[in-house]
Structures are given as C-alpha cells and as structure tokens.
Chain A
Amino acid sequence: MTIEIKTATLQPIRNTFANIERRFGDKPASRYQEATYDLQGEANFHYRPLWQPQYELNDKSRTKIKMNDWYDLKDPRQFYYGTYVQQRAKHQEATETNYSFFEKRGLAEHLSEEVKSYLLTYLIPLRHVEHTANLNNMYGCAFGYGTAITQALLYNAMDRLGNAQYLSRIGLLLDGNSAESLTTAKQEWLKNPVWQPMRALCEEMTTVEDWFEVFIAQDLVVDTLIFNLFYSQLDEKLASMGARDIALLTEFMQVWNKDSSRWLDSVLKTVASESEDNSALLGEWVQRWRKKTLEALKPVVASMLDNSDALSIADASLEERLTKIGITY
C-alpha cells in the first residue's frame, strides 16, 4: 500500500544525526557529512592488536602529526563512496572511448620501433610505481585516523590500482594482448640500472612506519615529481617523436592527477597550518624524501629526457606546490 500524502503535514523531529548537529548546528546536513564525520570508533577498544600491542586498534599516535580534530581534513571534492564511484565511472567512460579509438584506428601500428621501446623502457614500468602508491595509500587508510582522511586514502589507493591497470593496458595495446610488453617492461624495472635507484626508493617507502610520512613521501613528493616528468615532460618528448596519440592513453592519469591534487593540497594546507610542530615535521619529511627521490630519479631521467634541466624543472614544480601549501624548511 502506498499513500499519497502532503509532506507539509509532517514535521521532522530533527534535521540530522546528533554528532553532525554537535559539529555544525541543528540544520540539514549533506550526505558527505553524514557519511563521514565520527564514523570511526573512538573509544573503549576491547583488545590491543596482537600485531601492534603498543597501539589501540584506532590510535592517533601512529603518526607524529597531531591534529586537534582529525575530521578537519575534509575532502574538498566531498567524496563519499557513491560520489566517488560515480565520478570515476564518468571518467573511465571517457577513457574507454580513447582506448577503443586507439585500438580501432590501429594507432599502435603507426608508432615507430623507437617510440615503442621508449614506452616499454620508461612509461610502462610506472605501473610498478603506481602499485607502490596503492600500497602506500592503503597503509595510510589502515593506520590513519578519522574517516575524513582514511576514506580519501582508500579512494586514492584504488585509483592507483586503476592507474596501474591503465598503464598495463597500454602495454597490452602494443603487444596485441600477449603481455609480452609487460614482461619486457618489468625486466626494465627489475634489471635496467637506470631504474634501480627508483625501485629501491619504492621498496624503501613500503617499510616506513609513520603513515603520514609515507603519505608525504608518496603522494606529495614522489607523485609531484613523477607526474611532471612522465606525464608532462615525457609526454612532450613523445609528441616530438611523432607519438602524440599516446596522450589519449594517459589522459586518465592527467585528469586524475588534477582531481587528486585538489584534495591533497587542501588536506596538507590544513595540517601545516594546524601547528608549528606539524609544519616542521612536514618540512623535515619533505626535505628527506625530496632529496632521496631526486637522487633516485636522476639516472632514469638522464637517459629518458634530453633536457639536462628536466629534473630541476620537476623540482621547481614541487617547490611551487610546497609554497602553495605552506610547507617550508
């Protein structure tokens, strides 16, 4: 039985959940708010984790960063699961069009052997960097505090798996779905001396304990440098080699990076402006990982790009970003 009624006759007894009302006052709340604030358990944990008895299950002290309220790290994109997947679905639909266009037109056949080997040596191995980013964002998701940041880290982690899969599909487009190119690119990653310092850095990041340090190393330092070098500078280089079409296949990563940067910058700005201590820690971590990453990228960049300033151009883009966020040291 369905009844037609006039909504005006029904007066709600409250506008939203009590925790949301305590935070924002007695007024209607957004779906992002109701699906984010205070969702994570805060008190009265029953047992210490067997795997980390020094901490509670949910524990703020898994990082040295201190926030008065971890829910200050809200997502400017207002992503909760529903909005997140719908946004990405739109995005993947456009990407799918690009990939099938590339395939249907047989664009892979127009690529010179030189370009193909370039892609196998420099672009496709990035799938392993994306895989590292997946691990590192999952790490923050599992050990971070408060749904505001942990859900965004999960979305980021899944995005990185998606990026890795799109990069792999570029390989599959080149080798007619045999995965030979993935095998070759993996050998580059594992054996080519120019990649080894970067691989070592990736391995090292997954052993760092403080989840916020991992977050800074990966999502701020490594990603800013990598995106500049590979999706901007390498992109130009490929265009100059007559392989402008590759941009069709990396557009997802380009758009993704923009979207993700908006979130990252906003979160880090909030953390940096919370306290001097936070700001100093961020500075310390950035300094450490910037130096390491520049060092690690040196050989691969030197062999990939002719421009001897390539690395300093990427570093300048990082510097610009740090200034925007407010991280200094």
Chain B
Amino acid sequence: MVAKKLNLKDKYRALTRDLDWDYDYSDRKKAFPYEEFEGIKITDWSKWEDPFRLTMDAYWKYQAEKEKKLYAIFDAFSQNNGHLNVTDARYVNAIKVFLTGVSPLEYQAFQGYAHVGRQFGGAGARVACQMQSIDELRHVQTQVHAMSHYNKFFDGFQDWTHMHDRVWYLSVPKSFFDDARSAGPFEFLIAISFSFEYVLTNLLFVPFMSGAAHNGDMATCTFGFSAQSDEARHMTLGLEIIKFLLEQHEDNVPIVQKWIDKWFWRGTRLLAIVAMMMDYMLPNKVMSWKEAWEVYFEDAGGALFKDLARYGIRMPKFVETTAKEKEHISHQAWWIFYTHGHAAGFHTWIPSDEELDWLSEKYPDTFDKYYRPRWELAKEMEARGERFYTKALPQLCTTCQIPMGFTEMDNPTQIAYRSSDYEGEKYHFCSDGCKHIFDQEPEKYVQSWLPVHQIYQGNCGGANVEEVLRDYYKMNLGEDNMDFKGSSDEKRWNEWKRKGVA
C-alpha cells in the first residue's frame, strides 16, 4: 500500500506541532504554567490554524536575501553620505524620536514574543511567536544600523537606549510595552499582535516610512520596506489569535473585548507622537494625521470590527472620542514638546508660514480657531528674542504617562483632568479612556514609574531639571535639546549647504 502524500498544511504541521507530545513523566502545567491565570479557556490547541507556513530553511534563505540587499544599501548610504539628501535638517528629528521611542519597542517585542514563544502550550502558536520574536530582533538591529550613520552627523541619537529607560516622554512608549509584556501571554497577543500590529500598525509604520520616502531618507525607507513582508506575517498572527480565542470558548469573548478596549486606547495615546510627527516634523508632508486616522483606522478598522461582530465583539470603547481627537491631538502634542523643548532630546520649532497654511487647510474646523493663534504668538515672542519655554514640570497621566496637556474634546480650551482614588491616594489621568484602564487594574498602574514624580522624589540624580537632563538622562545640553533654530544640527546643515554638499 502506498501511503498518501501530505498536503502543504499537514506537512507544515508535521514539521512543527507534531514535534511536541503529551507529557507522561512531568506535569505539563509546570512546563507551561501561565496559560490559565488570565481566565482564558483553551479547550483544544489543535484547532490553531498556522497563520503562515515557513520552515526554518526557507526562513533563513528569504531573510538572508533581504538582509543582503538591505545592508548593501546601508553601505552605499554611508559611503555617499546619504544624510545630505534629506529635505532639511529638521526632518532628522523625526527619526530621533523613532530611534529613542520606537526601536526599543521592537526590542521589547523580541522579548515578549520569545516569552510567549516558550510559554504557549500549543506548539503551532509557539513556533509562530518564535518567528515573530526573531523578526522583531531583526527590526531593532536593522534600525540601529540604519541610524548609525545619522548618529555620526546629528545630535540626539547617541544615547538612545539609555534615554529610553529614563527620559520623561519616552516613558510613554516604554510603559506601553512594559504593560503588554507584564500581562499574561494571551493579553500580550491581543495587545501587540491584534490591537497594535493588526489594527493600528499602519498608523505607525506607514507615516514613518512614507515620511522617510517623502523626505529623502533612503536608510529609513529601506529598512521600512524590507520589514514589510515580516509585518505581513505578524498581521496574520494577530488575526489568528483573535479568531482562535473567540472560537475556543464563549467565555473568552468578554475578556478579549476588555483587552481590545484597553489596548485600543493605549495605542491611540502612543500614536499621539506619530500624529505630531506627521503634522509638524516632516518638512515634506505625507498626509495629515486626521487623514491618516480616517483611512487607516476609521475605514479599515471599521470593516474589521464589522467582521468581528459575529463573535460578539464590538468597536473598542471610547472610539467616539478618537473621532474628535483626530482634529486636535497632533497640535496639542507638538505644543507640549515645543513648550518643553529645553527638556527634550530632539529639536522643536515653530512651523513655517507655509506649514501653518497647510495646517489651516488640513484642519479647517480647528486649526485657525484654536491653534494658529498660539503659533502666531510664539512667532512674535521668538522675534522679540523671547522663545517661550515652560519651566514647570508637567503633571503626567498615570496610565499613558503623557503630560496633562490634552483638552476636553468638546471644549478645546479646557485641559482635561480625570482622577481616581485608590487606597487613600489620588491618581490623575488625561482622559476617560486612561481613567477607565486604571480603574480596571489599579494595582498594576499604581506601580507606574512616572518620570516627573521620580524627579521630585529625588530618584533621578539631580537637584534641578538641568542636572537631571545632563547627568541622569546623559543629554548633551545645548546640543540635543532646545529649538532647532540656533542648534548645532542647523549650523552644520547650513555649513554643508554653503559648501554645496547638501
């Protein structure tokens, strides 16, 4: 009798999940101990559908081809001083934010997927997570290598990992990923694979990568496009995990919904940085944040949630608020950084007149009414030699850790304050969304390492802000921070231009 040949699906199973077996000698729960505490019910791991089928030999081969091409471009980029081709030196601040704020998250993704890639009891899911883990390591490393050349010619890149662990605004992305990694394995996947990689990723990567393409940044553009086929795999994992959990047991539905609500809001807060980058930091604009939100969340996300309705999943909580926030968030965020520009590791500036006009055009209902007057005032002050910096340290939202500068969305002149009491202490929030997240898990969020609190408590080395920036953050004061106007970055750039190289 000739046995039947395996089809591709079964062959992949034979090469992955079939390697595992049911334990007889040790307690399997001791080997995979974290699968139950979140309340998720897995009745049958064999129902897991492999989101992609890639054996290691194929993985090595494809990825090596991609790396070869990518590094050839990096080499050419530095040999030809590719940094001189960017639109203008202000642009480089966008990728300073990327290296200090986003690349360390790629690292945390590598760690998070390594953890679940060990801990899931289903071998199919483990292998998919392991592959994502090594991809994410690729992302952080190729990003460092892409930025390595910029670091040699611009300020603010040099201490990216040290800064990520300490600097006040970088606690926004850091706490986001700490939150996901400290959660259980299923929440981690809903947070990162589904809510972030599947629902929101286009709002992070498309803006940065098209921003790079529009602004002559070959290095960033190349690693971005090279990572795209990895991301396509990651998105399929995001879709599989949600379907799998929802199909395994109906009791999983409310738990998953709670996580979607939480991670959607947490994600939109993280994206405030991208919003300001798109509207204010790119000399050549791609599209406005508002447009990006409409295309990549409202249209694409709307269709997705319609699809998930059959499982009993609804749109994330507070989604109505985001429809209003898209008009305001980028302006408010850049204002926070502009006014705290002395304490930021990158440069800030007042938009040029053409840029102000572009913003007026893109935000007809809000910009002229609420934001343009501020910039006109800032311009006047700057012209008088009184560039404005807020000396006071901002209060931070306990959940998202963004300074409390966002307003009520129905009254954009009123800063939004929310608070909760927990065990005799008061905690402050920037929004209903952040308060809600805290109230669901106060014992988690009371642990937040809030940079401003920490400075006041004397845990950041210095007696005053300047010492904290210089000694604890290791910023080169007068080089990394302050306005772009008058910065060393600007001076060098003008010098290259004068010599006719840039």
What is A's interface to B at a CB cutoff of 8 Å?
A: 1-3, 5, 7, 9-10, 12-19, 31, 34-35, 38-51, 57-58, 80-82, 85-86, 88-93, 95-96, 127-128, 130-131, 134-135, 138-139, 141-143, 147, 150-151, 154-155, 157-159, 161-162, 164-166, 168-169, 172, 175-180, 182, 186, 189-190, 196, 199-200, 203-204, 206-207
Segment of B44-52, B142-150, B205-213, B236-244 in the binding face: B142-150
Q: Which residues of B contact A172 (CB under 8 A)?
A: 6, 11, 14
Give the complex CA separation of A13 and B152 in angstroms.
6
Q: Choose among B30, B184, B449 the residue that contacts A44 (Cβ–Cβ < 8 A).
A: B449
CB distance from B442 to the nearest CB of A (A): 12
Q: Choose among B33, B114, B158 the residue that contacts A17 (Cβ–Cβ < 8 A).
A: B158
CB distance from B222 to the nearest CB of A (A): 13
Interface centre among B5, B19, B55 (most CB of A within 10 A): B19
Q: Which residues of B contact A189 (CB under 8 A)?
A: 21
Q: Which residues of A contact B165 (CB under 8 A)?
A: 41-44
A95 touches B57 (CB 8 A): yes
Q: Which residues of B contact A1 (CB under 8 A)?
A: 85, 216
Q: Which residues of A contact B6 (CB under 8 A)?
A: 172, 177-179
B178 touches A45 (CB 8 A): yes
Across the interface, name the chain B residue whose C-beta is closest to A129.
B19
A178 touches B4 (CB 8 A): yes
A19 touches B57 (CB 8 A): no
Q: Choose among A5, A34, A147 the residue that contacts B501 (Cβ–Cβ < 8 A).
A: A5
CB distance from A328 to the nearest CB of B (A): 30
B449 touches A14 (CB 8 A): no
Across the interface, name the chain B residue whose C-beta is closest to A7.
B81
Q: Is the interface of B mostly helix, strand, loop or mixed?
A: helix
Q: Which residues of B contact A9 (CB under 8 A)?
A: 499, 501
Q: Which of B130-161 contact A (CB under 8 A)?
A: 130, 133-134, 137-138, 140-142, 144-145, 148, 151-155, 157-161
A85 touches B26 (CB 8 A): no
Asked if B24 lies at the interface with its beta carbon under 8 angstroms from chain A, I say yes
Across the interface, name the chain B residue whose C-beta is closest to A204.
B26
Q: Choose among B2, B30, B61 the residue that contacts A176 (Cβ–Cβ < 8 A).
A: B2
Q: Which residues of B contact A40 (CB under 8 A)?
A: 107, 111
A130 touches B501 (CB 8 A): no
Q: Lowest 7 CB-CB distances: which A-B pairs, in order?
A: A89-B64, A178-B3, A162-B56, A200-B25, A131-B19, A12-B152, A203-B26
Q: Choose among A13, A86, A130 the residue that contacts B68 (Cβ–Cβ < 8 A).
A: A86
Q: Which residues of B contact A139 (CB under 8 A)?
A: 118
18 A-B pairs besides A3-B502, A178-B2, A207-B30 with CB distance below 8 A are: A5-B81, A10-B84, A10-B496, A18-B158, A45-B449, A51-B184, A81-B134, A86-B67, A96-B57, A127-B19, A141-B133, A161-B127, A162-B55, A168-B19, A179-B3, A186-B21, A200-B26, A207-B27
B84 touches A3 (CB 8 A): yes
Give the complex CA separation of A127 and B56 in angstroms.
14
- Please list 30 pairs of residues, one from A and one from B, whose beta carbons are closer than 8 Å in the complex, sorted by A's number: A2-B85, A3-B84, A5-B81, A7-B81, A13-B154, A19-B162, A39-B107, A42-B165, A44-B166, A44-B449, A57-B182, A85-B60, A85-B67, A86-B67, A86-B68, A90-B64, A91-B60, A134-B130, A135-B126, A139-B118, A142-B117, A147-B107, A154-B114, A157-B130, A165-B15, A172-B6, A176-B3, A176-B5, A179-B6, A200-B24
Q: Choose among B5, B160, B181, B496 the residue that contacts A49 (Cβ–Cβ < 8 A).
A: B181
CB distance from A291 to the nearest CB of B (A): 17
Q: Which residues of B contact A177 (CB under 8 A)?
A: 5-6, 11
CB distance from B103 to the nearest CB of A (A): 9
Across the interface, name the chain B residue whose C-beta is closest to A201.
B25
Known: A5-B84, A44-B449, A179-B10. A17 touches B130 (CB 8 A): no
A142 touches B115 (CB 8 A): yes
Interface centre among B11, B104, B130, B448 (most CB of A within 10 A): B130
CB distance from A303 to the nearest CB of B (A): 20
Interface centre among A138, A168, A175 (most CB of B within 10 A): A138
CB distance from A299 to the nearest CB of B (A): 14
Known: A18-B474, A48-B447. A81 touches B160 (CB 8 A): no
A165 touches B57 (CB 8 A): yes
Asked if B295 lies at the interface with its beta carbon under 8 angstroms from chain A, I say no
A10 touches B501 (CB 8 A): yes
A138 touches B68 (CB 8 A): no
CB distance from B130 to the nearest CB of A (A): 6
Give the complex CA separation of A143 and B119 in angstroms.
11
The number of residues on chain B lying at the interface, defined by a beta carbon within 8 Å of a beta carbon of chain A, is 103
Interface centre among B3, B107, B141 (most CB of A within 10 A): B141
Give the complex CA separation of A86 and B144 in angstroms.
18
CB distance from B323 to the nearest CB of A (A): 29
Interface centre among B11, B55, B114, B492 (most CB of A within 10 A): B114
Across the interface, name the chain A residue whose C-beta is closest to B32.
A206
CB distance from B492 to the nearest CB of A (A): 8
Give the complex CA separation of A91 and B60 in angstroms.
9
B71 touches A16 (CB 8 A): no
Across the interface, name the chain B residue whose C-beta is closest to A200.
B25
B64 touches A85 (CB 8 A): yes
Known: A49-B181, A138-B117. A207 touches B31 (CB 8 A): yes
Give the complex CA separation of A196 and B3 in angstroms.
28
Q: Which residues of B contact A176 (CB under 8 A)?
A: 2-3, 5
Contact with A along B51-91 (1 / 0, CB 8 A): 00001110111011101101100000001110011000000
Give the complex CA separation of A175 and B448 in angstroms.
57
Q: Which residues of B contact A35 (CB under 8 A)?
A: 140-141, 144-145
Q: Which residues of A contact B216 (CB under 8 A)?
A: 1
Q: Which residues of B contact A182 (CB under 8 A)?
A: 14, 18
Across the interface, name the chain A residue whose C-beta is closest to B476.
A18
CB distance from B113 to the nearest CB of A (A): 9
B448 touches A47 (CB 8 A): yes
A15 touches B5 (CB 8 A): no
Asked if B171 lies at the interface with its beta carbon under 8 angstroms from chain A, I say yes
Across the interface, name the chain B residue whose C-beta is closest to A51.
B34
Give the complex CA separation of A292 and B232 in angstroms.
44
A12 touches B158 (CB 8 A): no
A186 touches B18 (CB 8 A): yes
Interface centre among B127, B158, B171 (most CB of A within 10 A): B158
CB distance from B1 to the nearest CB of A (A): 10
